[in-house]
Structure 1
Amino acid sequence: MLFFTLTLLLPGLGWAQQQNPKPLLITVDLKKKAQTINNFGAAGCWYAEGIGKHWPAEKKERIAELLFSREVDAQGNPKGIGLSAWRFNIGGGTAEQGDSSGIRDVNRRVEGFLNNDGSYNWNKQPGQTWFLQKAKQYGVENLIAFANTPPVQYTQNGLGFKTTKDYRSNLQPDKYEAYTNFLAEVLRHYEGKGLGFKYISPVNEPQWDWTGKFGEAKQEGTPWQNPEIARVVRALDNSLTTKKLATQIILPEAAKLTYLYGEKAPAARQTQQFFGKGSPSHLGNLKHVPPLVVGHSYFTDEGDSAIVAVRQQVADTARHYGVRFWQSEYSMLADGFREGTKARRTAMDCGLFLAKLIHQDLTVANAAAWQFWNAFEPGRAEFDTRYYLIALQPNATHTDGNYQQTKNLWALGHYSLFIRPGMHRLNINRSDKLNPVAAAQKVMVSAYTGQKGELVVVAINYEPEARNLQLAAKGMNKGTTYQRYVTTASPDDNLKRYPGGKLNQAISLPPRSITTLVVKD
Structure 2
Amino acid sequence: MKVSVKFLFGLLLVFGLDSKSFAQEKDQPVIFKIDIKNKAQVIENFGAAGCWFSEGIGKYWPEQKKEQIAEWLFSKSFDEKGNPKGIGLSAWRFNIGGGTAEQGDSSGIKDFRKRVESFQNPDGSYDWNKQAGYIWFVKKAKSYGVENLIAFSNTPPVQFTQNGRGFKTEKDYKSNLKSDKYGAYAGFLADVIKHFDAENLHFNYISPVNEPQWDWSNKPGQASQEGTPWRNEEIYKVTTALDSALTAQKLSSKIMLVEAGMLNYLYAGSGNTNRQIQNFFGKNSKLEVRNLKHMSDFIGGHSYFTENGDSSLVQIRKNVSDTARNYDVKFWQTEYSMLADGFREGTKEKRSAIDCALFLAKVIHNDLVVGNASAWQLWNSYEPGSPDFDTRYFLIALKPNEKHTDGEYFQTKGLWAFGNFSRFIRPGMQRLIIDRSDKMTDLKAAQIVMLSAYTDEKGKVVVVAINYTTLEKRVKLNLANAGKFSNLRKYITSASEGDNLKPYPVQKLKDEVILPARSVVTMVVE
In the TM superposition, 1:137-148 aligns within 5 A as 137-148=143-154
Offset at 1:451?
0.8
Deviations 1:40-82 (A, max 9, x none): 0000001011000000000000000000000000000000000
> Which of 342, 347, 353 is the equivalent residue of 2:348?
342
> Which of 303, 309, 312 is the equivalent residue of 2:318?
312
Deviations 1:360-399 (A, max 9, x none): 0000000000000000000011000010000000001100
What letter is aligned with 2:305?
A: F
Matched, 1:83 2:89: yes
CA distance in 2, matches of 1:80, 1:393: 20
Runs of 4+ in 1 over 4 A off after TM superposition: 474-479
SS at match of 2:300: strand
Give the match for residue 429 of structure 1.
435
2:32–2:476 Cα contact (<8 Å) kept: no
In the TM superposition, 1:51-450 aligns within 5 A as 51-450=57-456
Give the match for residue 520 of structure 2.
514
2:36–2:481 Cα contact (<8 Å) kept: no
CA distance in 2, matches of 1:180, 1:479: 51
CA distance in 2, matches of 1:451, 1:499: 26
CA distance in 2, matches of 1:452, 1:106: 49
What letter is aligned with 1:433?
A: K
CA distance in 2, matches of 1:170, 1:226: 14
Give the match for residue 488 of structure 1.
494
Unaligned runs of 5+ in 1: 1-17
Deviations 1:288-338 (A, max 9, x none): 012211000000010001110000000000000000000000000000000
CA distance in 2, matches of 1:475, 1:104: 58
Give the match for residue 7 of structure 1.
none
1:207–1:265 Cα contact (<8 Å) kept: no
Deviations 1:435-463 (A, max 9, x none): 10011000000000001110000000001
CA distance in 1, matches of 2:160, 2:499: 49
Offset at 1:472?
3.9
Q: TM-score, normalised by structure 1?
A: 0.95
2:282–2:288 Cα contact (<8 Å) kept: yes
Offset at 1:469?
2.5
What letter is aligned with 1:73?
A: D
- Gap change, CA 1:479 and 1:316, over 3 Å in 2: closer
What letter is aligned with 2:425?
A: I
1:146–1:201 Cα contact (<8 Å) kept: yes
CA RMSD of aligned residues (A): 1.1
What letter is aligned with 2:352?
A: T
Unaligned runs of 5+ in 2: 1-20
2:231–2:273 Cα contact (<8 Å) kept: yes
Offset at 1:483?
1.5
SS at match of 2:374: strand
- Gap change, CA 1:115 and 1:107, over 3 Å in 2: same
Offset at 1:432?
1.4
Q: TM-score, normalised by structure 2?
A: 0.94
**Sequence identity, in percent?**
61
Structure whose CA Rg is larger: 2
1:478–1:504 Cα contact (<8 Å) kept: no
What letter is aligned with 1:224?
A: W
2:31–2:477 Cα contact (<8 Å) kept: no
Offset at 1:212?
0.7
> Which of 458, 466, 470 is the equivalent residue of 2:472?
466
2:33–2:477 Cα contact (<8 Å) kept: no
CA distance in 1, matches of 2:479, 2:194: 49
Deviations 1:143-187 (A, max 9, x none): 000000000010000000000000000000000000000000000
| Equivalenced residues, count | 503
